[in-house]
Structure 1
Amino acid sequence: MKRLLMTGAAGGLGRAMRQRMARHADVVRLSDIADMGDAAPHEEIVQCDLGNADAVMKLVEGCDGILHLGGISVEDKFSKILNANLLGLYNLYEAARAHGHPRILFASSNHTIGFYRQDQHIDVTAPMRPDGLYGVSKCFGEALARMYFEKFGQESALVRIGSCMEKPKNHRMLSTWMSYDDFDSMIECIFRAPMLGCPVIWGVSDNDSKWWDNSHAAYLGWRPKDNAERFRAELDAAMEKPGPNAALSLYQGGAFAEDPIFPED
């Protein structure tokens, strides 16, 4: 690509992936509402509130790919989720429609299906079962992306990220973990595919205990290589497993399934 836009560049996942983006595009345009530091020679820094339609329209101009990590990534007040995850995503898709349909990787979430039990194995045909307002916002995002594909031909990969971090932080993440390397290789496959469409893809490494079936997306050529199992002994030594009736043991969404909804002020 000539210019790749990465939103959410100041977030945890954005910071982790930032240096890796240079191999995907000549220029990487980084965006967030928060400070992102200084730009490297191949980078452009653009502070942007996704809820500002005019700003997002300018942000997308000149980009031929979008890695959309921006928005609220945890359970929060509906007003915050509304601006960043619903209105912000609509603004992004409208801007993409106006600027030639650059391919989009939309960071959806496992919290779209968080109320499935951990003894259930599902594929993308399973109905959504969001575990909070954050999960609901990602269900909206997937539906919005699908509509823009069906109506306007906007290609998007809807990546239901499990737990993308350096290593799993608890026993649930032995099933949901996706390594940075595996995410990076997924990004490459999504943007190089001759035809993408609008697939839902589980963002998970090749873990022994994974719950999700990605066989429908095999045409993309993505083959995750890492396995969270190598961290099991370390986790066993560092912490006790949660009890059998704890949300972390029962639900695929873990604690999100029991967290209260944040009240508005």
Structure 2
Amino acid sequence: MSPLRQRMLDALQLRGMAPRTQETYIDAVSRLARHYHRSPELLSAEEVQAYLLHLLRDRHLARASLNLYGCAFRFFYRTVLALDGEVFQIPLGPAPQALPEVLAREELARLFDCACHAKARSFLQLAYGTGLRVSELCHLRVEHIDSHADRMCLHVVQGKGAKDRFVPLSPDTLAVARAWWQVARPRTWLFGTLRDADQPLDIGMAQRWYRRACAHAGITKRGGIHTLRHCYATHLLEAGVDLHNLQQWLGHSHISTTMRYLHLARPDAPDVARRQPLALLSSLPPLH
């Protein structure tokens, strides 16, 4: 590792950035250096801006992805190299605030039925039944599942923003976790890698499971596995769960983030969903 990369990694860790953020920021600066075949500390603000335009115009990056690069460059030049932000300007543009896609309950039933194997099906069902971010579910340890009847919850350790939280477990979701444990007998991570069970599942693999199941189920709605989290939030609101509790379970810092799901919720949720709001999996319609 070069001294400059180590400086950036030290700065990221000192400020408590999540491992995923550390990896993303360092990768963005590395790509910038490879593009110009020069050390990034030798580049001018105009060259950095030209690279961002290249990503936007030639690589057709979405605005949100482009801003991620911009944030990484701002951190590198302003924090690591201590350059004046007024002189070394890296602009960020407003990202369009599109509402997320939500799958119908019948589509979810088809999706789970089309999962490529038991591990994929269990992972996708738990992603929907708990609303965890994919990184949180990949890093869920067996010991963080509390199955006692008077607790029934997951302990999310150091989720987004380095915050812990508890997420309630319904009996049907717990049954999925137990069934997978009976098959794989995991010791550390509920979902480990195939080659080494002591390593957590790779996020990219979970995304591939989701997209493969969507393709086989004939689901064409945009979005990746994070769609299951959107479905969790929307369906709980439809079933009558209050906004404050949902905010805590999702781990949102601001309730305005949770409120966007109000635009997606329909008033005509199935009766079974309203009787047992947390039993999302058992509320899905049977496949014919």
Q: TM-score when scaled to structure 1?
A: 0.30
Q: TM-score when scaled to structure 2?
A: 0.28
If each structure's helix is expressed as a fraction of its own residues, which one has the higher value?
2
